[in-house]
């Protein structure tokens, strides 16, 4: 069976390796011809994983049509702000039944739309559109270190299709029908990881990090419930699981952006230029704000991250303001 993967960054490459290890032929779309050349000739993505040998079952190309040719399903693994453009391009090459798994984490700027809704507007047939999320740093998954994730979809058949394509002894995949919950958890945890990075960068300790993580989970839960998702999803792999790994892992770009860039007055553009990698939380703190206003949900940590990253608020002063709000019950808004 052939599966297509759109995006040969860290996560697209790691997922292509998982699929190929499971016996699939993988068509991998990459933007840069030199990445395609290295993958096909040397079985390496020299830009992201120079030390990892990729399966010979992965064939890269810069053509959507060639990537999709005879594929039974497609994984979209580009940064979330590119999803609409990718969906529009895919509309020319996928039929109305092709299962689509979105592996990006974020929400659309300006509209606040979540990935499945964006893709549905471009491709139609929501039941064949699923999302993947969980505590999954590409650096560990590509090495076959034990990890788990959730495939969420309104259709159990689509969820099971992708679960079975991805699951193996070291990559457990669970299914869920709470797409909105899983999508919001994915967008949220990146924002909180920036907050935790800033907190460590300011010299605060583990108590502060734990407070931000758990209060971040409370914000996440309020938003998930307000948008029609299930609070329990926030306790699962896409919620608490991904929150913990993104806030605490040395691999997390979001945390590192907060700790090493934001507290030193360095920008998102600086991070992306230095690392060639995305920091999804920097955009999500703005897009979640759109949703929060629409649903009347209180998101104090998210709003603080937005003020620091986009409005030049001083991190230490912003942290003090965060602690100066009226005292209330722990699970207000739920
Ligand atoms: N890296 C991880 O561990 C990981 C794990 C789970 C989910 N994700 C999610 O997967 C998505 C992709 O992240 P990543 O880590 O693979 O990316 P990355 O940061 O490793 O690399 C960015 C990717 O985006 C591509 N890109 C940049 N501009 C582009 C454009 N204009 N058109 C097409 N492609 C463009 C780059 O070529 C590169 O492939 C993100 O939403 C991220 O949150 C990442
Ligand atoms: O490195 P980050 O911060 O983009 O996080 C990557 C993954 O989403 C972790 O599950």
How many whole angstroms separate alpha carbon 168 and alpha carbon 21? 9
CB 6 within 8 A of CB 157: no
Using a 6 Å cutoff on CB, does residue 149 contact ligand 1?
Answer: no
Contacts of 274 (CB under 8 A, 6+ apart): none
| CA-to-CA separations, 148 to 44, 48, 157, 264, in angstroms, rounded | 24, 22, 20, 34
Note the pLDDT tens digit of each residue in 66-97: 999 999 999 999 999 999 999 999 999 999 99
Q: How far apart are CA 289 and CA 294, in angstroms?
A: 9
Q: Which of 2, 143, 189, 286 is catalytic?
A: 189
Under a CB-based contact definition with an 8 Å cutoff, are residues 288 and 107 in contact? yes
Name the DSSP letter for residue 168.
-
Nearest-ligand number for the alpha carbon of 189: 2
Any idea what the Cα angle at residue 84 is, between residues 83 and 90, rounded to 5°? 85
| 233 CA distance to ligand 1 middle (Å) | 24
The pick from 13, 16, 28, 79 for probing ligand 1's pocket by mutation, whose C-beta has the most ligand atoms within 8 angstroms, reads 79
What pLDDT is recorded for position 85?
Answer: 97
Which of 10, 17, 103 for mutating ligand 1's site (highest number of atoms within 8 Å of CB)? 10
What token pair was written down for 242?
A: 């991904």
Task: Give strand pairing partners of 45.
Answer: 49
Q: Which of 204, 221, 235 has its CA nearest to residue 316?
A: 204
95 C-alpha to center of ligand 2: Å?
A: 31
Contact between 182 and 153 (Cβ < 8 Å)? no
**H or E stretch covering 35:** helix 33-42
Ranges of the chain whose pLDDT falls below 50: none
Tokens (6 digits) for 58? 């992965």
Instruction: Give just the sign of the alpha carbon dihedral 85, 91, 93, 98.
Output: positive
CB atoms closer than 10 angstroms to residue 275: 13
The reply to whether ligand 1 has any atom less than 6 angstroms from the CB of 104 is yes
Q: What does the alpha-carbon distance between residue 274 and residue 281 come to, in Å, rounded to a whole number?
A: 17
Q: How many other β-carbons are positioned within 10 Å of the β-carbon of residue 50?
A: 10
- Per-residue pLDDT tens over the stretch 244-260: 999 999 999 999 999 99
Q: How far is the CA of 129 from the centre of ligand 2 (A)?
A: 22
Catalytic site includes residue 189: yes
Residue in the structure block whose two tokens are 């590192």: 256
pLDDT at 110: 84
Verify whether ligand 1 is closer than 6 Å to residue 85 (CB atom).
no
CB of 281 sitting under 6 A from ligand 1: no
CATH numbers and ranges of domains, the chain: 2-177 (3.40.50.720), 181-322 (1.10.1040.10)
Global pTM?
Answer: 0.97
pLDDT the model gives residue 94? 94
Beta strands in 94-218 (DSSP E): 100-102, 129-133, 147-152, 171-176
- Is 32 part of any known ligand binding site? yes
Separation of alpha carbons 128 and 136, rounded Å: 23
């Amino acid at each position: 069976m052939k599966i297509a993967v759109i995006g040969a960054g860290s996560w697209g490459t790691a997922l292509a390796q998982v699929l190929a290890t499971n016996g699939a032929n993988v068509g991998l779309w990459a933007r840069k011809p030199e990445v395609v050349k290295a993958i096909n000739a040397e079985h390496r993505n020299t830009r992201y994983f120079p030390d990892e040998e990729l399966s010979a079952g992965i064939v890269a190309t810069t053509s959507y049509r060639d990537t999709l040719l005879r594929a039974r399903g497609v994984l979209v693994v580009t940064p979330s702000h590119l999803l609409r453009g990718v969906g529009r391009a895919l509309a020319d090459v996928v039929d109305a039944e092709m299962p689509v798994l979105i592996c990006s984490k974020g929400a659309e700027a300006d509209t606040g739309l979540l990935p499945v809704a964006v893709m549905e507007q471009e491709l139609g047939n929501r039941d064949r559109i699923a999302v993947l999320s969980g505590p999954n740093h590409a650096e560990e998954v590509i090495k076959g270190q034990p990890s788990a994730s959730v495939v969420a979809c309104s259709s159990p058949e689509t969820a099971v299709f992708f679960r079975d394509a991805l699951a193996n002894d070291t990559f457990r995949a669970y299914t869920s029908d709470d797409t909105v919950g899983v999508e919001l958890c994915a967008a949220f945890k990146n924002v909180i990881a920036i907050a935790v990075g800033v907190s460590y960068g300011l010299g605060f300790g583990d108590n502060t990090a734990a407070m931000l993580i758990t209060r971040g989970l409370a914000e996440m839960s309020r938003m998930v419930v307000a948008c029609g998702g299930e609070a329990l999803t926030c306790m699962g792999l896409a919620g608490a699981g991904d929150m913990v790994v993104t806030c605490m892992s040395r691999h997390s770009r979001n945390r590192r952006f907060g700790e090493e860039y934001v507290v030193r007055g360095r920008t998102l553009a600086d991070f992306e230029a230095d690392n060639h990698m995305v920091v999804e939380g920097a955009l999500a703190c703005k897009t979640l704000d759109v949703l929060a206003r629409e649903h009347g949900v209180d998101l104090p940590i998210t709003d603080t991250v937005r003020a620091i990253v986009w409005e030049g608020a001083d991190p230490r002063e912003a942290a003090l303001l965060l602690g100066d709000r009226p005292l209330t019950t722990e699970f207000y808004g739920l």
